[in-house]
């Protein structure tokens, strides 16, 4: 997500920042929402960094998944520029990572009267300014309960609202060493709340939230180009047709003129004898033509 009120936050899926779609910011800049593509079985983490916000002693980020509290992190003032993350729930010495899990759908009408689960399909991170006090024991600290996130939700098919997944917990993994737990007291209203609504990619694409796959786009482009007339088959404009006709007529006229230019002999009575004809034709024509000569006419015998 873009930086807002000094903070930058993002979702990482399998260790890589997830593409975000349709990012929206409230008028006062305290709420930022977007969509991310989820995939069954994929691990994810929620990350954020304080870039420019200076509180009294620090800030605390509180994470909720599908409406269930999933843990928090404290950032001191001197932690500016240092990213932090929540990637799972602590379970003894291990951690159970967040994963996208299947939602159980049922046609049991008895489920219609149950909770509406308005935050199903929502990952939310609220960042608030806090006074950071002394460290406290784990017994007094607030932490997420693995059992709340590990259970598979069951909803009626008419109430799922296109949500087919939920956040669950994966198998336990060795947990990195965590710092001391401290007491915090909120010192003001939330600085910013980041919200990610997750759905499978095909649902986001079907609703024009995410762009279509590259292969689909290339296929449609190829089909569109295939349906267009080629350069040779392109219909000619009226101007081009008239120009071609003029060129053809001129060419035919020139060709006809050159073909019809035959040597001719003109006699005194304007008779024309075609010397390009076969000799036998000339002989027949000459024999058939009887002439009379006027008195005193000179006949060239050469």
Q: What pLDDT, in 10s, does the model give residues 178-193? A: 667 788 899 889 999 9
- Overall pTM > 0.85: no
Strand pairing report for 154-156 and 104-106: parallel
Q: What pLDDT, in 10s, does the model give residues 22-61? A: 999 998 889 999 999 999 999 999 999 999 887 778 999 9
**How large is the average pLDDT for residues 222-246?**
48
Mean pLDDT of the chain: 74
Residue ranges in the chain assigned as alpha helix (H): 146-150, 201-206, 214-227, 238-260, 279-288
Among the residue ranges 160-164, 184-188, 243-247, the one predicted with the least confidence is: 243-247
Give pLDDT, residue 174. Answer: 87
Residue 193 or 4, more confident: 193
Give pLDDT, residue 93. Answer: 81
Residue 260 has pLDDT above 50, yes or no: no
**How large is the average pLDDT for residues 281-294?**
46
Q: Look up residue 4 and give its DSSP letter.
A: B
The full set of domain ranges for the chain reads: 7-223
77, burial (CB in 10 Å: exposed 0-12, middle 13-18, buried 19+): middle
Query: From CA 99, how far away is CA 40, in angstroms rounded?
Result: 8
């Amino acid at each position: 997500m873009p930086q807002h009120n000094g903070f930058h936050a993002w979702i990482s899926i399998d260790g890589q920042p997830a593409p975000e779609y349709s990012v929206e910011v409230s008028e006062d800049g305290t709420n930022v929402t977007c969509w991310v593509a989820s995939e069954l079985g994929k691990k994810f983490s929620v990350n954020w960094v304080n870039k420019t916000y200076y509180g009294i002693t620090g800030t605390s980020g509180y994470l909720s998944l599908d409406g269930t509290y999933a843990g928090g992190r404290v950032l001191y003032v001197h932690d500016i520029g240092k990213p932090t993350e929540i990637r799972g729930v602590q379970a003894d010495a291990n951690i159970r990572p967040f994963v996208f899990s299947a939602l159980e759908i049922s046609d049991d009408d008895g489920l219609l009267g149950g909770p509406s689960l308005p935050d199903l399909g929502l990952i939310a991170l609220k960042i608030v300014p806090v006074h950071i006090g002394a460290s406290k024991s784990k017994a007094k600290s607030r932490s997420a309960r693995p059992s709340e996130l590990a259970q598979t939700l069951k909803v009626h098919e008419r109430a799922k609202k296109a949500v087919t997944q939920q956040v669950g917990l994966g198998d336990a993994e060795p947990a990195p060493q965590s710092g001391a737990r401290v007491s915090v007291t909120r010192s003001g209203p939330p600085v910013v709340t980041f919200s990610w609504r997750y759905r499978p990619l095909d649902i986001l694409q079907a609703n024009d939230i995410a762009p279509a796959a590259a292969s689909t786009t290339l296929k449609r482009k190829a089909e569109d180009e295939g349906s267009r007339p080629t350069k040779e088959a392109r219909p000619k404009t009226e101007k081009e047709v008239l120009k071609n006709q003029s060129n053809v007529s001129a060419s035919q006229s020139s060709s006809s003129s050159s073909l019809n230019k035959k040597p001719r002999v003109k006699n005194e009575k304007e008779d024309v004898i075609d010397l390009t004809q076969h000799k036998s034709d000339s002989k027949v024509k000459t024999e058939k033509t009887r002439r009379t000569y006027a008195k005193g006419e000179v006949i060239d015998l050469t």
